[in-house]
Amino acid sequence: MFRIRRVFDDFPPGDQRAIVQVQEILRSQFTALAEKDIAKLPEQLRNPFKYRFRSILLVTEDSRGHVKGFALMSHEPNLHFCFLDFLSTEKGKMGQGTGGILYERLREEATSLKTIGIFYECHPDDPNVVRDPDLLRRNAARLRFYERYGARPIMGTAYETPIKPADPYAPYLVYDDLRQHIRLRRSTARAIVQAILEGKYGKSCPPGYIEMVVESFKDDPVRLRKPRYFKKRAEIPISTSIPVDKRIALVVNDQHAIHHVRERGYVESPVRIATILGRLDRTDLFEKLPPKHFPETRIKEVHATEYVEYFKRVCTNLKPGESIYPYVFPIRNVARPPKELAVRAGYYCVDTFTPLNRNAYLAAKRAVDCALTAAQAVLEGKRLAYALVRPPGHHAESRSFGGFCYFNSAAVAAQYLSAHGRVAMLDLDYHHGNGQQDIFYERSDVLTISIHGHPHFAYPYFSGFEDEDGAKGGEGHNINIPLPESVDGIRYREVLEHVLKRLVKFQPRFLVVPLGLDTAKGDPTGTWSLVSKDFEANGRAVGSLRLPTLVVQEGGYSNRVIGTNASSFLTGLWQGAHSS
Ligand SMILES: [Zn+2]
């Protein structure tokens, strides 16, 4: 079993490990390469705009993360072409498994970048030039492999002139037009060849070499060699479905339905998940991952141990169907929690409508596991992940529950990611994300942002004011944007764009989005009027940050539209993250 995926940069540890292995393969298989060119690979990936070519790295790896093959391709955005620098497979077996998978994925990538095709160098399959029969056979196999895709050498030029006169021969320049039936114009070809030679050989060419090769392109359009290995062209098509590794990792809380509060008006109900999932299943944007089990210590990293223990104990002691609503709030003496468990509920709760029941702990713990599973996928190289969970979590503070929330799943995931770099949390729920504000209030490595209804009129009423901006070293690392009762999609987007600029300045390595859909028109707990296209535009704006991003489901209670709006946001997010 192996998987293929794109490695964007060396921030997530899974990508760091892959890059180190690719560098080792480059050193061992491509001995002519200079060490400085191998060493700059992470920098090339991290700062794509610094270089004329943007590097695209694809790897195939086994389930233990061992890199089995890779392809490194350069994208030139002005001339709209790609150049394949390296395609390396285990033992150099091109036609088998990984070579084909890598090359097909490269073609898909070059197509989605709207390029005119992929160029690359291949050693000649001409017996007059290559005397060694083994070498000749290998070269022929390689050209045959590419010919299946319609790619053939460009003929009638001086491209095959050795750079050093002592070299016996030089490679062909091969062109794959990605089945677009492009007639490559001479002027285009000349500009492309100049870019390739300058980029690939630069100063190692003798003076005048590049001009000589460029000038040698006389045919217009450029001539490709006639098919040599496959007389009838039956080219391998380019897949139109989204490759699995580019899909959003989707982790659904499979145990959410055990937490079902049946009291009238309790809008946080199991049907919410089914409604959203029903919509997501209509697309091929997602790769479902089963939730993994994580130790409770992960939760205790953001929640007070005594709260976690209390919550677990009180839930376990309740009879099925029995609920405790907090009714005494001993806020004046926090050092003396009431002895009786039922009475103590108010010691840990901020409101009177979030009950404790037998399954609340189990469902909330599972929601945390889902968020952590999705976060782990991000650490292993997934760019986008979505934890579709309930109960929600963003109102759960270090030592309190409320607002339908018990454990702050998004904050546990952010804490987990923060071991690998700075994390920004962008809360897009209609209600203030008081939970993560409280949890990270004194930290400067986790930026918490929340756009929400002003606490003058919106839950949780006691927090979410603009002047709450962090404390004790975390100053300036909590941003609250309270908005008026009436907000439409246009106004919301202005605010979002402004907030994203501040977020970028923080230079996070990971983004966690507690996503509420209660900003939608008609939501029973909100007053704003966002519609489907607004969610898509907001998703696109967030995706265009191109950060490894984890979305955790929070509120949203209009079952008529939550499915569509969740799907719209995530579609926009994907588009933003993958636009060229
Ligand atoms: Zn909400």
Integer Cα distance of 435 and 463 in angstroms: 10
Q: What is the pTM of this model?
A: 0.88
| CB distance 375 to 550 below 8 Å | yes
CA of 347 to the centre of ligand 1 (A): 23
Judged by DSSP in three states, 59 sits in strand
**Burial label, 276 (beta-carbon count in 10 A; 0-12, 13-18, 19+):** buried
Biggest CA–CA distance in the chain, Å, is 94
Using CA atoms of 288, 293, 296, 300 in order, give the dihedral in degrees to the nearest 10. Answer: -30
Nearest to 454 by CA among 446, 443, 465: 465
Integer Cα distance of 161 and 286 in angstroms: 48
Nearest to 324 by CA among 302, 296, 301, 344: 344
Q: What is the pLDDT of residue 355?
A: 81
Half-sphere exposure of 316 (CA within 13 A, CB side): 6
Residues having C-beta closer than 5 Å to ion ligand 1: 429-431, 516, 518, 555
CA of 554 to the centre of ligand 1 (A): 7
List the structure tokens of 290: 């089963």
List the structure tokens of 578: 């993958």
| CB distance 57 to 6 below 8 Å | yes
Integer Cα distance of 550 and 417 in angstroms: 10
Low-confidence spans in the chain with pLDDT less than 70: 1, 91-96, 233-234, 327-335, 580
CA of 299 to the centre of ligand 1 (A): 22
CA of 516 to the centre of ligand 1 (A): 6
Give how far Cα 148 sits from Cα of 142, 172, 239, 457, Å. Answer: 10, 17, 15, 65
Q: What is the pLDDT of residue 130?
A: 92
CA of 394 to the centre of ligand 1 (A): 8
Integer Cα distance of 435 and 446 in angstroms: 13
Q: What is the pLDDT of residue 184?
A: 96
Burial 187-210 (b: 16+ CB within 10 A, else e): ebbbbbbbbbbeeeeeeebeeebb
List, by residue number, the catalytic residues.
Answer: 395
| CB distance 310 to 348 below 8 Å | yes
Q: What is the pLDDT of residue 417?
A: 98
Residue bearing tokens 């790609």? 82
Nearest to 433 by CA among 422, 420, 446, 444: 446
Integer Cα distance of 516 and 221 in angstroms: 55
CA of 400 to the centre of ligand 1 (A): 17
Strands 384-388, 248-252: pairing kind: parallel
DSSP bridge partners of 510: 423
Judged by DSSP in three states, 143 sits in helix
Element (H, E) at 481: strand 478-483
Nearest to 446 by CA among 482, 418, 426, 413: 418
Using CA atoms of 568, 574, 577, 580 in order, give the dihedral in degrees to the nearest 10. Answer: -100
| CB distance 429 to 394 below 8 Å | yes
| CB distance 118 to 176 below 8 Å | yes
